[in-house]
Structure formats: C-alpha cells, structure tokens
Amino acid sequence: MLQGFVAWTLWPMASDLAAAPADAPLIAAAADLRFALDEIAADFRRATGQDVRIVYGSSGNFRRQIAEGAPFELFLSADESYIVALAREGFMIDDGVPYAIGRIALVVPAGSPLKLDGELVDLAAAASDGRVRRFAIANPEHAPYGRAAREALQKARAWDALQDRLVLGENVAQATQFAVSGGAQGGIVALSLARSPEVAGRARFVVIPDQMHAPLVQRMALTRRAQSTAREFYAYLQGPQARAVFLRHGFAAPA
Amino acid sequence: MDTTALLLSLKLAACTVAILAPVGILVARWLATREFAGKPFVEAAFALPLVLPPTVLGYYLLVALGGHSPLGRWYEATFGHPLVFTFDGLVVASVIFNLPFAIQPVQRAFEAIPEDLRHAAACCGLTGLQSLWRIELPLAWAGLVTGAVLTFAHTLGEFGVVLMVGGSIPGETKTIAIAIYDRVQAFDSPGAGVMSAVLLLLSVVAIGITFLASAKRRRHGS
Amino acid sequence: MDPSGALTVELTQARPIPLAVSLACTGGELLALVGPSGSGKSTVLRAIAGVYPSARGRVVVGGDTWLDSASGHFRPARERSVGFVFQNYALFPHLSAEENVVQAMGHVVPAERVARARALLERTNLAGLEARRPAQLSGGQQQRVAVARALARDPKVLLLDEPFSAVDQVTREKLYEELATLRRDLNVPMILVTHALDEAAMLADRMCILHRGTTLQAGTPQAVMMRPASPLVARLVGLKNIFPGEVVEHDPARLVTRIRWQGRIFEAAHAPQFAAGARITWVVAPSHIVVHRRDRPSRGERENPVSGVVERCIELGETTALSLRVGAGERADIFLSLPTHAARRNGLAQGVAAGISLLTDGIHLMPAAESLTIS
C-alpha cells in the first residue's frame, strides 16, 4: 500500500525497471547452490519463458524466516531436517524430495602453507605447528555445510586444535569468501562453490571423502504459498537437464 | 549495477523522509518549547536508536511485528501478507530507526530561535500555527534540511535492521546495501564496487548539503 | 466597559518567582516600572502581555478581564491586543521592516495593511527603510521598527521592556524625544520598564518601584524620589543621606517636626504620623542642601546649619560631587553635589572645613529601618 503511494507520487518509472517481474515466485536457496541454480533458472526461462526470483542464504535462516511468514514459494535447503521441521509445522505442502547430495572440499588459497590433503591429516598437523592462524567454515549452528565441516574436522582430530582459530561464515558462500580473500589460510566449504570459476582463479581445492561426515542430503519442498510457476520449476528441478547441471557443479545425484 | 535495489533504496528513503518530516517537526518543536517532568527520559527514548545496535533493534522489531506477534497477526489478517519481509515492514523499521536523525537537528534549530520571537509573534496576534509557518519554520529551515538529508542518507545505508526485518527479497526488501553484500558473496567484486561507489557519492552529496545548510544559517544571523 | 481603558494589575505568587505586585495605570498615562536587575520587572510585563502562563493574580484592562486566576480565566497573548517592545526588539530576522509591522495587523483588512504599515514606519522616522531586514538596520532603527510593530496592533496597552538599553547615549536621547512625541497621541496605558532612574524621571508621568517582586511605592517621580516611603525605597531611588533619628516634637503652627540627630536638633517637613519620641529614619535630597558661601553669608544659612570637613571632592565635568564629614560622636558623611564653578569659588577641596544648610522642606521622615543596608 505504501509502496503504491510512493510509486505514484515520486517514482513513476520504478516498476518498469524491475529486473524480474514482481510477481515471479520467490525461491529460497541454500548458499552453496548459487552458481548451479542460476544456470538452471536461466535454462528454465529459455525453456518455458517464465522467471523466478532466487534469494541465496543460510538454510537455517530460511527455515526461521519461512516459519515467520516470509513469502517464499519453494525452499531448496542444504539440510533435510529443516524441510522436515517446516513440513511438520504445516508450512509446506508435503515433505518434498531430495534433489542433490552435497560434498565438501578443502580450499587452499594461493600463498597458503597448507597442503591439499583431503583426509585433513596435514591440516591437523598445521593446527599444532602454527602454520594455520585462521580457518574458515560456515557457522555449524545453522549452516549444514558448517556442520559437515565440523564433523570432518572432528573425524580428522583437528577440531579441538582449530576451534579457537575458526572464522565462521554466516552461510557457506560467506565462508568461501573468507577462505579465499586472504584473511585465512584455508577453509572447508561446499564443493560446488570451490570448483566455480570465480574461486578457482584464487584457490586450489580437493574433495573431502564422504565417509568423513554425515551425508548432506539436500532436500527441497514447495510451501503453502506455491503457485503454478513455482510448481513447474519444482518439477523441472527433478528433470534430466537440471540434474545434469547439478552433477556438473560437483553435486552427487540423490539416492 | 542492481537498478531495482537502488530504486528500492531510494523509494524507502523517500517514504521515510515523507513520514518523518511532519513527525520530526512537531515532536522537535514540542521538545524545544516545553518543559515538563520526565523530559530527559522522553528525549533519551527518541535518541535511543542512535546508540542501539541495529541487530538489537531488528530483534525487537521482529518480536513486535513478526508473524507471531499480535500486531503481525492482525496485519496479516487484514492485508493478506505479513508485515515483515515486505516493503511496508521496512518502512516501519526505517521510521523508528531514523527518529533521532529526524528530530535532533530540527530540535536544535527550534531551540536556537530566541524565545522572545515566539512571544513577539503571540503579541502580534499570530496563532500557534501561523507562528510556526511564518516565523519558526523559515528560521529553522537549515535544521529541517539537515534532518531530511541525514534521514535520507542513513536509510540508504541501513543494513542490519533491513536484513533482519526484511530478508533479502528482490524488488521488495533487497535494498542496495544488501545487494552489495550479496555481490560480495557471489565473488562479483566489480558489481559490488559500482554500487558502493554510488552510495559513497550519495553520502558525500548528503553531507555536503547539510554543511551548506548550516553555513547558510550562520550567515543569516538569526 | 471602562472608557478610560485603565489597566490594573495584581499579581501574587510564591513560585517560580515570588511576586507581590499591585499597580494601576490610566489611559494615556506612562508608568515607569523601576527596580534593580532581578526584581521581576520583565516578569510583570510578560504577565500583563499574557506570555507568562504561570502568572497568578488579576489583570484588567478597560473593564476587560485578561487574567483572573481565582476563576481560572486566562486569555492568551494573541487575543489580548498588546503592543510589546522587547529589550532586544525581537524583530523577525527573515522579514523586512514593513513585513515585521504587517505581522501585527491581522485585525486589519488585507488591502490596507501595507499602506498602514508604511504610515506607521513614517511616523517612527523610518521612511525609505521599509524593505530592509533587521540585520541591515542600526540599533536605533531596529528599536523604531519594534515600536512601529507594537503600535500596529492598535494595542490597548503598550509595554516597553528597557527599550533604550541597547543603544548609545546619543541615539538614546533622540529616541526619548520620539517616544515623548508618539505618546502624545496614544490614549492607552503605557508601562516602561527601566533600571535608569533619570530615564524614568524624564519620560514617566508616574513611577513604581519594584524590589524582589514587590511593588514598594508608586507616585509621580518627584513624590517617589523626594518622599520615599521607606529607607529601602530611598536607597533604591539613589538617595544617599539616610540617617537614624528621633522625633522630639511637632510644631503644627509652623508645619515643622523637630528631630534629634547626633545631638543636633533639625526642623524637618511636618510629619504628624510619627509620635513624639518615636525613632525614625530621615533623608535629605541633594537638591535641598545649600553650601554656605565663604564671602557672603545668606539667609538660608540659618536653616539646619551643619559644619564639617570635606572628606571627598571629585570633579565630574561640570558637576562636583562632595562628601562632608560631620559629626560629634559618630562619624557621618553627607553627600551633595554642586556646579564645579561654585565648588571652586568656595575653595572646596579635600580637608577643607565647610558649612551647609539642610532645607527643612527637603528633610523627609520615614519609619525607622531595621538596618540601613539593603539585604
């Protein structure tokens, strides 16, 4: 209502210049999906002529916001438990489906003394001998990739030594930012982000074996507000073209 | 350059100024001309957002306006969508957060008007409203400009409260400050750089205008 | 309705400023309200104007009640038809002289406002300066705009709060003359607040002394300054020769009262209100002290003669101020002034013996003071 008033009196051009139409469905997507999902959304637009508006962030934050009434129509979480909780609370139309399996990677920026050791043995050593002063992961409290990183570090017996040297990103994208921008000697982040061209230019990475953490089953579900476009996109995400894009970006296919 | 986000920010700033201009004038004049018990507490309450961490304000706004609050539930029942995560919610948050910027410079400007001028206006037969319009507002003009410009600029840059109360919904609550944050996370340095430069320029212009306004007031010699 | 348009003011309050004021002023009369700083003069004016909302008492103008706390009646300033000249003029700085004056003309038909404003500015000798802003006017010109604006209201009362204090001596004297001219055509009560006694004496028909919020005495300047009601008033009007004494007896046939002071007997103006034997305070005005001439004694020397030694002799231009130390027993100084040429002719200088006469009519009796210092 206020928006309409101001638009009418002060900014006549405002609505014409919107990038995506204001009625394109809002999609909440985990931060690790940025590059993969942007590509899929572009493919979707080419295939069906329809637009979606994607907001990237931490899955834990989205879980809270949807419970508060945020107007998302589809939620792609990096963690199953958030979808399950929201479904149980009645915000989703059903339990949804898994759409990908996430993997984590160790990233080592240029100039860092860390070795590219996926089993994290060198990292454990580096924690004790002082080679690593700052290490970035997503916040384990609400980011699934942060939780996975913590599990892997605990498995490698590097968690205790590293704990007070951790830099916590609000979501895994921010953690990746911290890891490669020079403030830290490395980090554990989503594989999909580590292998993206933007990161590849500044850091090397190695995949961490999936035995070192509980599986990151990424699940998605439609909310009760979902309209037709969102439902179509939901179906498209389960189709072969989308699956191929996920695989290309380092995700594993869901079981 | 995320034009939608920039326009959204400008719209939010304009709405905030439009609402706070009359509120600021009336409250500032009231505080400048009245003495009453408890006045320091009232002034402190209006000044609180200046020192309050944005996340604290965001938290309390979520509690007060969010989907579980009585106000939030009433709003959703009446308008069909929640107050938070919408532009309207941002306006509410922005108005509260900018109260000190809208009130204090204006209050100082009213206080700088000698009391005898108000008395002289009354003795001339002017009503309170005539006195405000013909005598006080022209003399307090520099303070009004400062208040409006500071409110506008401050709203453009507001981040923490907007993020907590608005989310980051493109075209609705994704302001330019949030867009910069988003670009940085997407490793789009040039994109973030362009928008930051625009905000920097707008801030410099805002500060320039407020300094010009106070210099003009000094020369006026009231 | 009181056709004379007289103003009566009674203010009684303890807070925030103690006031015990009672004064009256008829239409066409200029009353000077005189008192030292902090005596509450400005507060009284503001109470009359209606810009002092905590006033408690009564203000009636021409039969019209403006304030009556007892019945809760308070008419706000803008409805009172008051012309107020503020100490710092309070001109609206962003408006021209003409626009300032027009502000007070809400009761005039819009088509006539500018013409009337111009006429008023001409009456106050500001023709040609109508378009100037206050910052472009001298102090004296600003004062005139303030007066014009006050008159523009067609006021029922004219109030002037130390309107001459901010200008230099030369300008001030010109403004005195202008005020004296303007007021001849005004038939409303006028109150002039000042701390300068000579200004009050020059301009006012009546004078009222205010001390710490209390009106002590009102009357013509001559009456107040020659016949103060109490030692406090005497001090406030600048009289210096204040001494304790005792009534000896009254002589109604010759209209004198004899008093004793320091063993001497003086004949003072007849004051039958004091009983014989009563302790009193007496005062003599400088205008009623005559210096004995060395060369030619004169008749006046026989009235209440006193001799003493010149203690201080200060030439202040054309006037010389003297103090004469007299006294058997307690020392006392009598202050007087006389033209410098006369002082020189009589050879008056420090340490010289001299004689003076205190004229009977000038010796005024007042109730005994608790102490002679102003507390």
Q: What is the DSSP string of chain A?
A: -HHHHHHHHT-TTGGGG-SS-TTSPEEEEEGGGHHHHHHHHHHHHHHHS---EEEEE-HHHHHHHHHTT---SEEE-SSHHHHHHHHHTT-BSS--EEEEEE-EEEEEETT------TT-HHHHHHHHHTS-S-EEEE-TTT-HHHHHHHHHHHHTT-HHHHGGGEEEESSHHHHHHHHHTTSSS-EEEEHHHHTSHHHHTTEEEEEPPGGGS--EEEEEEEBTT--HHHHHHHHHHTSHHHHHHHHHTTPBPP-
Least confident of A40-54, B67-81, B143-157, C104-118: B67-81
Q: Are residues A115 and A69 in the same domain?
A: no
Containing structural domain, residue A207: 103-212
The whole-angstrom distance between B137's CA and the closest CA on chain C is 11
Instruction: Return the pLDDT at B216.
Output: 74
Q: Cα separation of A171 and A169, whole Å?
A: 5
* Residue A167 CB partners (closer than 8 Å, separation 6+): A134, A135, A136, A137, A175, A178, A183, A184, A187
Q: Do B123 and C153 touch (CB under 8 A)?
A: yes
A85 touching chain B per CB within 8 A: no
Q: Where in chain C is the domain with CATH 2.40.50.100?
A: 242-367
Residue C38 reports pLDDT greater than 80: yes
Residue C121, pLDDT score: 92
State the burial class of residue C24 (Cβ atoms within 10 Å of its Cβ: 0-12, 13-18, 19+).
Answer: middle
3-state SS assignment for residue B128:
helix
> Is B164 at the interface with chain A, CB within 8 A?
no
| Cβ neighbours of B95 in A, within 8 Å | none
Please indicate, yes or no, whether residues A57 and A148 belong to a single structural domain of this protein.
no
Helix, strand, coil share of chain B (percent; to 5): 80, 0, 20
Q: Is residue A42 part of a domain?
A: yes
Please name the member of B88, B186, B187 whose beta carbon is closest to the beta carbon of A2: B88
User: Which chain B residue's Cα is nearest to A6?
Assistant: B15
- Which of B61, B90, B169, B180 to probe the A interface (max A CBs under 10 A)? B169
- CA C118, C122, C124, C126 dihedral sign is positive
**Would you call B124 and C50 a contact, using CB atoms and an 8 Å cutoff?**
no
Say if residue A116 is in the same domain as residue A66: no
Do A17 and A114 share a structural domain?
no
Q: Is residue A131 part of a domain?
A: yes
Q: What is the number of domains present in chain A?
A: 2
| Cβ-proximal residues to B85 (8 Å cutoff; 6+ apart), any chain | A65, A68, A69, A70, A71, B165, B166, B167, B169, B172, B173
Residue A5: predicted pLDDT: 45
Instruction: Return the DSSP state at C286.
Output: G
Distance from CA of C155 to the nearest CA of B (A): 10
C157-161 and C82-85 strand pairing: parallel
For C291-313, what is each residue's pLDDT tens digit? 887 766 666 567 888 888 888 88
Contact state of B119 with C49 under an 8 Å Cβ cutoff: yes
Which residues from chain B sit within 8 angstroms of residue A173, using beta carbons? Answer: 185-186
- The reported pLDDT for the residue numbered B126 is 93
Q: Is residue A255 part of a domain?
A: no
Please tell me whether residues A81 and A114 are part of one structural domain: no
- pLDDT tens-digit readout, C167-193: 888 999 999 998 888 888 888 999 999
A2:B76 CB<8 A: no
Band of pLDDT at residue C329, cut at 50, 70 and 90? low
pLDDT of residue A12: 34
* C106/B222 CB distance under 8 A: no
What is the reported pLDDT for B95?
Answer: 93
Kindly identify which residue of chain B lies nearest to residue A169, measuring between CA atoms: B185
CATH number of C7-227: 3.40.50.300
Contact B23/A at CB under 8 A: no
Query: Does the CB of A174 have a partner CB in chain B at under 8 Å?
Result: yes
Q: How many CA atoms lie within 13 A of A115 on its CB side?
A: 10
Rounded CA-CA distance C47/C69 in Å is: 12
Q: Which residues of B touch C76 (CB under 8 A)?
A: 122
Q: What is the pLDDT of residues C68-94, one digit of tens each?
A: 988 989 999 999 999 999 999 999 999
Cβ B14–A6 below 8 Å, yes or no? yes
Q: A96 with A108, same domain?
A: no
By Cβ distance, the residue of C92, C104, C135 closest to B221 is C135
In this complex, which of C51, C88, C135 lies closest to B122 when CB atoms are compared?
C51
Closest by Cβ to B4, choosing from A19, A65, A177: A19
Q: How far is residue C199's CA from residue C193's CA, in Å, rounded to a whole number?
A: 10
A253 and A246 in contact (C-beta within 8 Å)? yes
Nearest to C90 among B119, B220, B221 (CB): B119
Q: Tell me whether residues B171 and A22 touch, CB distance under 8 A.
A: yes
Give the closest-approach CA distance of A198 to chain B in angstroms: 6
When the candidates are 1.20.150.20, 3.30.310.50, 2.40.50.100, 3.40.605.10, the CATH number that belongs to C242-367 is: 2.40.50.100
Nearest to B82 by CA among B112, B110, B61, B103: B61
Q: Is C223 helix (H, G, I), strand (E, B) or coil?
A: helix
Q: Chain B partners of A3 at a C-beta cutoff of 8 Å?
A: 11, 87-88
CB contact under 8 A, A34 and B85: no
pLDDT for A22 equals: 67
One-character DSSP codes across C348-367: --TT-EEEEEE-GGGEEEEE
Q: What is the pLDDT along chain A (255 residues), one digit of tens a residue?
A: 444 444 444 433 333 333 566 678 999 999 889 899 999 999 999 999 999 999 998 888 899 889 888 889 999 999 899 999 999 999 999 999 999 999 999 999 988 888 888 888 888 888 888 888 899 999 998 889 999 999 999 999 889 988 888 999 988 998 998 998 878 899 999 999 999 888 888 899 999 998 999 999 999 999 999 999 999 999 999 999 999 999 999 899 887
Residue in B127, B134, B222 closest to C93 by CB: B222
Could you report the per-residue pLDDT of A67-125, keeping only the tens digit for each? Answer: 888 889 999 999 899 999 999 999 999 999 999 999 999 999 988 888 888 888 888 88
> What is the nearest CA distance from C115 to chain B, expressed in angstroms?
18
Cross-chain Cβ contact B122/C78 below 8 Å: yes
State the pLDDT at residue B220. 57
Nearest-CB residue to B4 (from A2, A10, A18): A18
Q: What pLDDT, on the 0 to 100 scale, is given for residue A254?
A: 87
Q: What is the CATH number of domain B3-220?
A: 1.10.3720.10
| Residue C327 in this model has a pLDDT that exceeds 90 | no
For CATH 3.40.50.300, list the domain ranges present in chain C.
Answer: 7-227
| Cβ contacts of B17 on chain A, cutoff 8 Å | none
Contact assessment for residue A59 and residue A140, using Cβ atoms and an 8 Å cutoff: no
**pLDDT, tens only, B140-179:** 998 999 999 999 999 998 888 888 888 788 888 889 998 9
How far off is chain B from C70, nearest CA to CA, in Å? 24
- Please list every residue in chain B whose beta carbon sits closer than 8 Å to the beta carbon of residue A71: 81-82, 85-86, 169
- For chain A, which chains pass the contact test of at least 3 CB pairs under 8 Å? B
Nearest-neighbour CA in chain C from B122: distance (Å): 5
Q: Give the span between the Cα atoms of C78 and C69, in whole angstroms.
A: 18
CB contact under 8 A, B122 and C76: yes
Q: Report pLDDT for A11.
A: 36
Which of A10, A31, A69 shows the shortest C-beta gap to B76?
A69
Length of chain A: 255
Chain C neighbors of B119, CB-CB under 8 A = 46, 49, 51, 77, 84, 86, 90
**Residue A200 at interface with chain B, using a CB cutoff of 8 Å:** no
- Nearest chain B Cα to C135, which residue? B221
Residues A127 and A189 reside in one and the same domain: yes
C to A contact (≥3 Cβ pairs closer than 8 Å): no
Mean pLDDT of chain C: 88
The radius of gyration of chain C's CA atoms, rounded to the nearest angstrom, is: 25
Report the complex ipTM. Answer: 0.82
What is the average pLDDT value for chain B, to the nearest integer?
A: 88
Pairwise CB contact (< 8 Å): B119 & C46: yes
**Chain B residues close to A19, C-beta within 8 Å:** 2-4, 170-171
Q: Which amino acid is at C352?
A: V
